Amino acid sequence: MIYILKTQENKTQKIMRTILNILIAIILFSPCLLSQEAEIVFDGNFFKEFNKKPVIQRDEFFENIANKIVIGRGKITEIASNQRYKKKHRIKIESSDSGVYGQKFIFYVFIENKDMVDLLSIDSKFEFKGQFMGYTPLSTKRNEYIIDIIIMDGSIIIE
């Protein structure tokens, strides 16, 4: 009788250890899983790393970030009424950070809010956050792209 009770206690302890190990593994690996869903920031570090990628892998990178949240900034070069992605306006923004690495990134930021568009002006610096919708390579060297973004948030950078 005592032997049976000890055997059951050992089984219970093994089950508890297994559950505890699983919980510890979930806690340890959850930051890794969350980091995959993190925002992508188009800044100097991004362009430096992007420049190191083989040309053939650059388009694949953009395909993998479809519908993810991105952050970028640059100089507004055009504001137009252009309906796409069910938005009424398009802001054309040229990245200033990409030029340092021999690249040219143009962001087409689509926006619905007319009041926000009225506050913007050509040649002002603008920072935005939005959903990555698509990309268009402008050269066979894959160092020039147009990036389509649906805006979530944005602000004029005042220096």
The string of pLDDT tens digits covering residues 41-70 is 999 999 999 999 998 899 999 999 999 999
Residue 40 token pair: 């992508």
User: Cβ(129)–Cβ(146) under 8 Å?
Assistant: no
Bridge partners of residue 69, in order along the sequence = 131
67: left (phi > 0), else alpha (psi -120 to 50), else beta? left
Domain 40-157 is of which CATH architecture? Answer: Beta Barrel (2.40)
What is the percent of the chain where pLDDT is above 70?
Answer: 79
CA-based torsion, 137, 39, 153, 113: positive or negative:
positive
**Quick check: pTM over 0.75?**
no
H-assigned helices in the chain: 2-35, 44-52, 55-64, 114-119
**Token pair 């992007």 is at which residue?**
50
Does the pLDDT of residue 38 top 90, yes or no? no
Each domain of the chain, given as residue ranges in start order, spans 1-38, 40-157
30 burial type by CB count under 10 A (0-12 exposed, 13-18 middle, 19+ buried): exposed
